[in-house]
């Protein structure tokens, strides 16, 4: 047997192959450059637990540039924060009994009614029921046959299904798209 064709490489060579592979070079290019079998390179990689950290591509710069993009995002954030705080103030006033739940955004009515029923007593709960069922007849489903108010999750589901088209429009769903949602 002619051993002159054997491709036995030194440990220093393998250490360099490993460093370059872990730095991101492909196995195929290293196998060609150092004249080692690709299968042998993969075996060494597996047996010696070579590790290549995941490289994350940098986020591409927006067309308008980072400064304008960041200012626009800051404006969006501040607007969203102001809107959330305004809703929080309305919810807080209604939950403390300082305001009627009539001003509460529709999607939060179930949560507020449940809280008011638990914390403000049966008289407030009865007034809330009279107001809501007059304003929204579908809301009668909020209460069971014994007159007990459902839990907030159930109330949210009733509200969503009774106002399905309004929700779909608010979410930007075109007619005919994703008809099974919600």
Tell me: the pLDDT tens digits for 120-167?
999 999 999 999 999 999 999 999 999 999 999 999 999 999 999 999
77 in any annotated domain: no
Tokens 């626009």 belong to residue: 72
- 108 shares a domain with 35: no
The range of the structural domain enclosing residue 42 comes to 9-47
Query: Is the peptide bond preceding residue 8 cis, with omega within 30 degrees of 0?
Result: no
Does the model's pTM come out above 0.85?
Answer: no
Per the prediction, the chain carries an average pLDDT of 93
Number of structural domains in the chain? 2
Within 10 angstroms of residue 95's Cβ, the number of other Cβ atoms is 18
Tell me whether residue 66 is in a domain: no
Choose one of 32, 47, 62: the last residue of a domain.
Answer: 47
């Amino acid at each position: 047997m002619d051993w002159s064709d054997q491709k036995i490489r030194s440990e220093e060579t393998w250490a360099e192959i490993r460093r370059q592979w872990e730095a991101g070079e492909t196995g195929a290019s290293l196998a060609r450059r150092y004249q080692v079998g690709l299968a042998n390179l993969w075996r060494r990689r597996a047996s010696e637990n070579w590790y290549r950290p995941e490289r994350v591509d940098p986020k591409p710069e927006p067309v308008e540039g980072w400064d304008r993009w960041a200012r626009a995002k800051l404006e969006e954030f501040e607007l969203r924060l102001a809107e959330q705080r305004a809703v929080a103030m309305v919810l807080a006033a209604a939950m403390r009994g300082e305001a009627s739940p009539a001003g509460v955004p529709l999607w939060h009515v179930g949560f507020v009614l449940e809280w008011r029923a638990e914390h403000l007593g049966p008289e407030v709960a009865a007034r809330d029921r009279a107001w809501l069922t007059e304003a929204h007849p579908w809301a009668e489903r909020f209460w069971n046959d014994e007159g007990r108010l459902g839990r907030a999750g159930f109330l949210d589901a009733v509200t969503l299904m009774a106002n399905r088209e309004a929700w779909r429009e608010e979410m930007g769903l075109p007619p005919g798209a994703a008809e099974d949602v919600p």
